[in-house]
Each structure stands twice: as structure tokens, then as C-alpha cells.
Amino acid sequence: PFTVTLSQARELEALAKSLGRVLSVFHNRRWDSDFLTLKGLLAEGVLGEVAYFESHFDRFRPQVRDRWREQGGPGSGIWYDLAPHLLDQAITLFGLPVSMTVDLAQLRPGEQSTDYFHAILSYP
């Protein structure tokens, strides 16, 4: 993740500004071919009005690995690892939602961080 808290992000922003530097987050999933194709189809109106959109990463990893993403602590877990990419894509395509509901869980035995999430973004 870029940062774990808003205060950390603001601190980095102030530091960059004081140094005359540009601070930016690299959202690499904006350049995935499936996303670019969908973005183009929406822009051309090929799909018409979108009433429902679903996006997810599916992976099966029954064993917890010894990696920072799967250890407990700030910034760990799948919510910080993958959710920013999916949320960025949805917001890029459809704008800011009016509300968001998120379900987070630890499903695997021995898991110390969030290894499951389901987010619902609601639009008018």
C-alpha cells in the first residue's frame, strides 16, 4: 500500500512538496489489457448503461506463507494488497460510489491477517 494511514500520506505529501518533488501512486492495474478493453467499450457506449459490475481476483492458497502480506500488522492482508487495484479500477470506470460496504475475514487456519474481502460499491 501507499501508506496505512491518512496522516502518513499527508506527511509524505508535505515532504515531497518541501523538496519540490512529485509524489505519485503507481496503479499498474490501470494498464491491464482486460481493463483497457472494458474502459474502451464503456467509452464507446457499446455496452449501454451498466447496471451491475463485478470484478475480482480469484486464487486458491490453502497454506499461509511467510510473507509480509500474510503476517499480522498494519498494511498486511489481502485488503491492502489487492483491494486498492480493484477499487481504483471501479472508481476510474464509474466514479466515486455513494456508499461502500466491506466484509473482511480471516478464513485460513493460522492466518494472521485478512485473507478474504468482499466489497460492494453502490451507485445511484
What structural domains and CATH numbers belong to the chain?
26-122 (3.30.360.10)
Long-range CB contacts for residues 62-67, cutoff 8 Å, separation at least 24: 62/108, 63/108, 64/108, 64/109, 64/110, 64/111, 64/112, 64/115
Indicate if the pLDDT at residue 110 is higher than 90. no
According to the model, what pLDDT value does residue 58 have?
Answer: 85
- The DSSP call for residue 93 is H
CA–CA gap between residue 55 and residue 74 (Å, rounded):
25
- Which among 97, 93, 74 is positioned nearest to 4, based on CA atoms? 74
d(CA 43, CA 17): 35
Count the Cβ atoms, other than its own, within 10 Å of residue 24: 8
CA 78 from chain centre, in angstroms, equals: 9
pTM of whole model > 0.85? no
Q: Give tens-digit pLDDT for 24-49.
A: 988 899 999 999 999 999 999 999 99
Residue 84's nearest CA partner among 25, 35, 5, 19 is: 25
pLDDT tens digit sequence for 45-91: 999 999 999 999 888 888 888 887 788 888 889 898 999 999 999 99
